[in-house]
């Protein structure tokens, strides 16, 4: 479990700080920090009543068919991580999630595991991007959520539910493309330029939803993905074979 910095009273904060209730892959600390080079001031395991975890944000059908959000559901409970960010970092988080093109920010009251109630924002799929029904996410995406839940000490029964969720099965080539692109997204996020990957994924989503013939889609994917995957491969190689420090 990740230790909060001031668990005694999570309600004390600077006026400009914003609380986010992370329920999807952003529960994973490395993912949250890497998205846009964010500084997490505090984090607490928490729960949100009368809402459920939903996989109804439309993604890219062959790459990431769905992403997580929340939906109202009386009697249900979704567990997650209550995170305190500066207003600047919260704005960067929103931008890394597609700006206002993917999620709406829902104001809710979240209860920490120690019984404190905190107002926070949680991401919910925009109506224009919402799937008619939940669609299983990829295993890559689910594993980020499951690992984040474990690292933050979420309720064991809730983790069991996460472990039992079905996933979308990708082929080996799609898995490789996914690995390269999302590694590059983390790299650009750490460099403070997440907009580049937001633009790339938005372009891929436009092609996916364009209704064009398969041949035309294939050509467009080739034009977009060839330079992106070439750069991603170079970045991956640099990660696998880092330069040794020069001897003085």
**Whether residue 14 has pLDDT greater than 70:** no
**Whether residue 231 has pLDDT greater than 80:** yes
Q: Dmax of the chain from CA atoms?
A: 65
Structure confidence at residue 233 (pLDDT): 93
**Does one domain contain both 190 and 236?**
yes
Round to the nearest angstrom and report the end-to-end CA distance of the chain: 40
**Does one domain contain both 59 and 112?**
yes
Structure confidence at residue 240 (pLDDT): 57
Q: Running DSSP on this structure, what letter comes out for residue 134?
A: -
Model confidence at 63, pLDDT cuts 50, 70, 90, reads very high
Q: What is the mean pLDDT of the chain?
A: 89
Mean predicted confidence (pLDDT) in 204-225: 96
**Does one domain contain both 33 and 152?**
yes
Length of the chain in residues, anyone? 248
Structure confidence at residue 229 (pLDDT): 96
**Whether residue 144 has pLDDT greater than 90:** yes
Question: Is 184 part of a structural domain of the chain?
Answer: yes
**CB under 8 Å, gap of 24 or more: what pairs does 110-113 form?**
110/19, 110/21, 110/46, 110/47, 110/48, 110/80, 110/82, 111/46, 111/47, 111/48, 111/49, 112/10, 112/44, 112/45, 112/46, 112/82, 113/44, 113/45, 113/46, 113/47, 113/153, 113/155
Structure confidence at residue 217 (pLDDT): 97
| 3-class secondary-structure state, position 98 | coil
Domain around 214: 172-240
Structure confidence at residue 6 (pLDDT): 39
Model confidence at 244, pLDDT cuts 50, 70, 90, reads low
């Amino acid at each position: 479990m990740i230790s909060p910095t001031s668990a005694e009273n999570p309600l004390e904060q600077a006026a400009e700080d914003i609380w986010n209730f992370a329920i999807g892959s952003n529960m994973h600390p490395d993912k949250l920090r890497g998205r846009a080079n964010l500084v997490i001031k505090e984090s607490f395991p928490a729960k949100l009543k009368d809402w459920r975890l939903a996989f109804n944000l439309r993604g890219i059908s062959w790459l990431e068919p769905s992403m997580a959000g929340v939906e109202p559901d009386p009697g249900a409970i979704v567990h997650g991580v209550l995170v305190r960010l500066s207003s600047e970092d919260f704005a960067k988080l929103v931008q890394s999630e597609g700006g206002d093109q993917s999620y709406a920010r829902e104001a809710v009251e979240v209860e920490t595991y120690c019984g404190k109630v905190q107002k926070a924002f949680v991401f919910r799929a925009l109506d224009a991007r919402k799937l008619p029904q939940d669609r299983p996410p990829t295993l890559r995406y689910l594993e980020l959520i499951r690992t984040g839940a474990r690292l933050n000490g979420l309720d064991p029964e809730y983790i069991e539910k996460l472990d039992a969720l079905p996933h979308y099965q990708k082929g080996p080539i799609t898995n490789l493309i996914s690995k390269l692109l999302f590694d590059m997204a983390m790299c650009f996020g750490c460099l403070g330029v997440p907009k580049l990957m937001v633009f790339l994924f938005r372009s891929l989503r436009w092609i996916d939803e364009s209704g064009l013939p398969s041949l035309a889609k294939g050509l467009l994917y080739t034009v977009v993905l060839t330079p992106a995957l070439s750069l991603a491969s170079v970045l991956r190689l640099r990660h696998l074979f880092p330069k040794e420090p020069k001897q003085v």
